[in-house]
Amino acid sequence: MTSDKFTVRKIEWGALIVVTVGALLFLLGAVRFVLRNHFGLIDAFYCCLALIPAGLLLLVLTYVFHHARLVLVIPLLLAGLLVFSFPVFDVALGLVLMGAIAGPALSEWKDEMRRRKSAAADAGEDDEKASTPSA
């Protein structure tokens, strides 16, 4: 019996908050499109194109947060202005925020599954070696 089964898993609140804000921004943009009564193929194309500037804005926000916190107000005001003005940017920034957390989380999950499989395979090989009689 291992203690891993009874260990309470710690929730990473920072990642959960970022994903929640991303989902809320995505839903805000979707609701604004619904209220406009128009969402066409060109709007979907604009949402895809807006992923690049939204990702760059997230990159700039992160850099400024880590190196010059006093100046963080300026990119935050820019982000607020873009989110308030364009529903396309709401959707794009929401997707970028969720993707920024989901990408590393999924790769960690895959790595953990690979480690478990390799540990189980190694344990199976050890059992086979122990059970076969030596000459």
More confident residue, 11 or 60: 60
What's the pLDDT at 125? 66
Q: Report the interhelical angle of 51-67 vs 87-131 (nearest 10°).
A: 80
Q: Is residue 91 classed exposed, middle or buried when 0-12, 13-18 and 19+ CB atoms within 10 A define those classes?
A: buried
Amino acid 2: pLDDT: 54
Confidence at 3, pLDDT banded by 50, 70, 90 = low
90-133 pLDDT, tens digit per residue, is 999 999 999 999 988 888 889 989 998 888 877 766 666 666 66
Q: What is the pLDDT of residue 13?
A: 84
Q: What is the mean pLDDT of residues 8-22?
A: 83
| The predicted structure's pLDDT at residue 76 | 92
pLDDT at residue 4, as a whole number: 55
- Distance of alpha carbon 114 from alpha carbon 135, whole angstroms: 35
- What are the tokens at 96? 């970028």
Over 60: is that where the pLDDT of 6 sits?
Answer: no
How far is residue 106's CA from residue 124's CA, in Å, rounded to a whole number?
27
pLDDT in the model for residue 135: 54
